[in-house]
Amino acid sequence: MGALVGCTSHHEDIDALLRSRVDALNKSSFQNRFNDAALSEEYARKAIAFIDDSLPTYADGRLRAWNNLATSFFNRSIHDSVHVYIDSILSFAGNTPNKEVEQVLAHILDARLLQRNCDIAGCYRILYDIEQSGLLDGKDDGMLFNLAKSEFYIATTTLNYHYRNKSLYQQAELVEEMEMRRSSLYCDYAEDMSLNYAIAYGYYALCSDTLRQSEYLSKALYYCGENLRLLNNSDRYSTYHLANTYQLFGFMLWSRNIKPSTWIDNAKEVKAICDYVRNAFSFDVSDVADTTLAFMREATSLFFLHDDPYQRLGAVVATGRYSMAVGDTALACDYFVEGLDIIDRELPVQTDMGRGSAEGSIQHSVAPKFEAMLYEGLLVSGCAISSDQVRNWTRKELDLLNYIKQNEKADFLLQRQLDEANRESATMLRFTLLFAVLAVALLVTLLLLRRRTKALQKETAMLQEAKRKDVERIANVETCLSVLRHDITPFVSYLQNENLPDPLKREVTGQLIRTFENIKNWTNLSIPSGLQFRLSTIAVQEVFDSVQQSVNNPYPDAVALRFQTNACVASGDRQLLEIMLRNLVNNALQHTENGSVSVGVEPWADDKRFLHFSVADTGSGMNPDDLENLFRSDKKPRQACQQGYGSGFGLILCRYIIKKHDDNTIRGCRIWAESTAGKGSIFHFLIATKED
């Protein structure tokens, strides 16, 4: 009996030694998951081989190795292999202490795959089921539990801020919970940095709340700084996390939602980050003309040192889009072409678009959202060298956008289904507790219903607004095509006349060029990624001087062109203001054969916050019917109108420019006209004056 006991003890000692060997291999695999995913795979495979040879019953070690393998493949975008190991973990039937938490980690990784594939509903369903299960509600502070809870927060945050439009209340609630739990969720420095990044991104997303914008930006900058301090250690340095932090900081600097006053409030934090990266990582932005572009480009370079082509594609697309936003088309083309190479060379094509998708017959890469942005960038930046390329990229972009839209619809339907289920559950709970604590149960239920109703109303309003914008864009396109056909027809007819005198031919050609210039400007203003509104202080006299030099007076001997001398200062976009004024002056000159065209400005008598501009002519004028629909973009041009206003893009463009000013400055900017047939017209518009 004693010999038997001694033998058992001896085998337990050997078993413990063997387990420690497996645990050490799994630990090395886990620690290298970001810096060297291939090495992480190698350690995990060694752990499995060791288990197969010497410890076949060590199920916890096998599950850990499978999860490490799945993570290493995920970090290299080898998604088919990720599915293999996720399925192995989820189908494991044995009993082992860590089975539940390892399966939660596998589920979360599956959810992140679905995120990448834009299967929003599938991802949310997994995270919802995990939350409802209560498996992560315990007080366990073990490494695996902390890892699972951190990964759940990161996946949920990414889903909410990148793929769904959650209410500010729900976003703030989640980020504040993450911040509160952060200190208790330590498992390793890499996960700590991932959680810091998620919290920082969450607070950056909350900067759309203008009331607390300065507070939220300060917190976002703080957690970026926390990551930089962690990375300033050779044992913790990671190109992946440094790239993530640089890119997020670049996104903050790029944001149009953050007010200048907010940046002033946080100027010290921004300077501290710039000084820190110079001293710690030898990345000096002190003499760089565009700090935002510098951080975006450096992040992209660092991602190219990492194994994940998905991250590389996201980085080049983001940097290309920013380059386009600041007008550097050549640099944008370089990045977009690099993105095309990544798709062709490194990202696999799949047919299932995420398991369970209805789009099984369509082939896309594993990054449909980034790919759609890439094709848009290729088209907008003019990278195409043939019409076949334009058609191919346009088809692919539309195909991807349709796929993403279908997934968004599926997510909306799922939300409605879950809301209905939650309401039913709340009703059952109310009746169950009615006999015990009727008043308390009723109060709780009403509060829950009110909260859910508000969230649903906000989401419904956002969908309706998106639909309205889609309808408006379609109307804009139809107007564009109709007006284009109408406006260029007479020009083409003139130019086909071989006997047309050279002076008249030059005039017709100039009119045609101005028409196409208006088309370009109008298109840029009527699409979301087009011409950007840049608010500045404008000296009106400088605008008048510029317009006076650029307009064409076809009757210089018969028509006097006068610009009022004025020292007024406006608040708006100077480029757009010049485009609008130039159109109105050219329009007036075109329809005035004798007399004068006068341009003036003065403070608006009814509201001193505005400047009142006027362009008056003694030309042909308009009748009341022409005047009524003058600025209507949803009305097709009058085919019979040859001398009246409003038959081309000029006035439609003016209407869009006024709308841009109204949206971005003081509400109340508008444009209108007065006219009498045969006696001339006066065009009026209001622009905000500079605030004292």
Q: What confidence score (pLDDT) does residue 269 get?
A: 95
| Residue 532 CA to its chain's centroid (Å) | 15
* C-alpha–C-alpha distance, residues 160 and 157, integer Å: 5
* C-alpha–C-alpha distance, residues 553 and 559, integer Å: 8
Give the pairing type, strands 671-676 and 610-617.
unpaired
- Convert the pLDDT of each residue in 126-152 to its tens digit: 998 998 888 888 766 688 999 999 999
Q: Is 130 exposed, middle or buried (0-12, 13-18, 19+ CB in 10 A)?
A: buried
Q: Is the pLDDT of residue 554 over 70?
A: yes
Contact 91, 56 (CB under 8 A): no
Phi, psi torsion values for 9, nearest 5 degrees: -65, -40
Q: Identify whether 396 is part of a domain.
A: no
Q: Work out the angle at residue 512's Cα, subtended by the Cα atoms of residues 508 and 518, and round it to the nearest 5 degrees.
A: 145
Q: What confidence score (pLDDT) does residue 685 get?
A: 95
**What mean pLDDT comes out for the span 572-590?**
89
Q: Is the pLDDT of residue 691 over 80?
A: no
Q: Is the pLDDT of residue 674 over 60?
A: yes
pLDDT band for position 8 (cuts 50, 70, 90): very low
**DSSP string over 475-511:** HHHHHHHHHHHHHHHHHHHHHH-TT--HHHHHHHHHH
Would you state the structure tokens that stand for residue 68, as one six-digit string?
């490490």
Q: Is the pLDDT of residue 578 over 70?
A: yes
Contact 107, 126 (CB under 8 A): yes
**What mean pLDDT comes out for the span 24-39?**
93
* C-alpha–C-alpha distance, residues 297 and 610, integer Å: 41
Q: Is the pLDDT of residue 643 over 50?
A: no
Q: Identify whether 632 is part of a domain.
A: yes
**Selected residue with higher pLDDT from 421 and 362:** 421
**What mean pLDDT comes out for the span 304-327?**
92
- Convert the pLDDT of each residue in 169-203 to its tens digit: 677 888 998 999 888 888 889 999 999 999 999 99
Would you state the structure tokens that stand for residue 621, as one six-digit string?
């004028």
Q: Is the pLDDT of residue 344 over 70?
A: yes
Q: Identify whether 660 is part of a domain.
A: yes
Q: Identify whether 676 is part of a domain.
A: yes
Contact 477, 440 (CB under 8 A): no
pLDDT band for position 613 (cuts 50, 70, 90): very high
Q: Is the pLDDT of residue 636 over 80?
A: no
Q: Identify whether 566 is part of a domain.
A: yes
* C-alpha–C-alpha distance, residues 24 and 28, integer Å: 6
Would you state the structure tokens that stand for residue 109, as one six-digit string?
């990784």
Would you state the structure tokens that stand for residue 117, as one six-digit string?
């594939």
* C-alpha–C-alpha distance, residues 41 and 67, integer Å: 10
Q: Identify whether 506 is part of a domain.
A: yes
- Convert the pLDDT of each residue in 71-81 to its tens digit: 999 999 888 99
For residue 426, what are the contacts with CB-CB under 8 A and spacing of at least 6?
A: 445, 448, 449
**What mean pLDDT comes out for the span 581-592?**
89
Helix axes 59-74, 79-90, angle to 10 degrees: 160
* C-alpha–C-alpha distance, residues 584 and 596, integer Å: 14
Contact 560, 588 (CB under 8 A): no
**Selected residue with higher pLDDT from 210 and 417:** 210
* C-alpha–C-alpha distance, residues 126 and 635, integer Å: 48
pTM value is 0.59
Count Cα atoms within 13 angstroms, Cβ side, for 563.
18
* C-alpha–C-alpha distance, residues 429 and 81, integer Å: 43
Residue type, 62: R
Of the ranges 314-323, 463-472, 670-679, which is most confident?
314-323
pLDDT band for position 361 (cuts 50, 70, 90): very low
- Convert the pLDDT of each residue in 262-313 to its tens digit: 999 999 999 999 999 999 999 999 888 899 999 999 999 999 998 889 999 9
Contact 195, 185 (CB under 8 A): yes
Mean per-residue pLDDT over the chain, rounded: 82
CATH code of the domain containing 593: 3.30.565.10
Q: Is the pLDDT of residue 10 over 50?
A: no
Contact 485, 198 (CB under 8 A): no
Contact 193, 238 (CB under 8 A): yes
* C-alpha–C-alpha distance, residues 289 and 541, integer Å: 29
Contact 177, 152 (CB under 8 A): no
pLDDT band for position 624 (cuts 50, 70, 90): confident
Domain that holds residue 571: 502-688
Q: Work out the angle at residue 108's Cα, subtended by the Cα atoms of residues 102 and 112, and round it to the nearest 5 degrees.
A: 145
pLDDT band for position 3 (cuts 50, 70, 90): very low
**What mean pLDDT comes out for the span 335-344?**
91
Number of domains in the chain: 1
Give the pairing type, strands 364-365 and 349-350.
antiparallel
Coil vs helix vs strand at 359: coil
What number of other Cβ atoms are within 10 A of residue 351's Cβ? Answer: 11
* C-alpha–C-alpha distance, residues 396 and 502, integer Å: 46
Q: What confidence score (pLDDT) does residue 120 get?
A: 83
* C-alpha–C-alpha distance, residues 149 and 174, integer Å: 13
List b or e across 282-309, with b for residues whose CB sees 16 or more CB atoms inside 10 angstroms: ebebeeeeeebbbbbbbbbebbbebbbb
List b or e across 639-660, with b for residues whose CB sees 16 or more CB atoms inside 10 angstroms: eeeeebbbbbbbbbbbbbbbeb
Q: What confidence score (pLDDT) does residue 426 get?
A: 55
Q: Identify whether 665 is part of a domain.
A: yes
* C-alpha–C-alpha distance, residues 592 and 603, integer Å: 27
Contact 375, 393 (CB under 8 A): yes
* C-alpha–C-alpha distance, residues 506 and 498, integer Å: 13
Q: Identify whether 675 is part of a domain.
A: yes
- Per residue, what are the HEC states of 375-433? HHHHHHCCCCCCHHHHHHHHHHHHHHHHHHHHHHHHHHHHHHHHHHHHHHHHHHHHHHH
- Convert the pLDDT of each residue in 428-467 to its tens digit: 655 555 555 566 666 777 777 788 878 778 877 777 776 6
Residues in the chain: 692
In this structure, of 33-47, 423-437, 502-516, the range with the lowest mean pLDDT score is 423-437
* C-alpha–C-alpha distance, residues 185 and 180, integer Å: 10
- Convert the pLDDT of each residue in 206-250 to its tens digit: 888 788 999 999 999 999 999 999 999 988 899 999 999 999 999
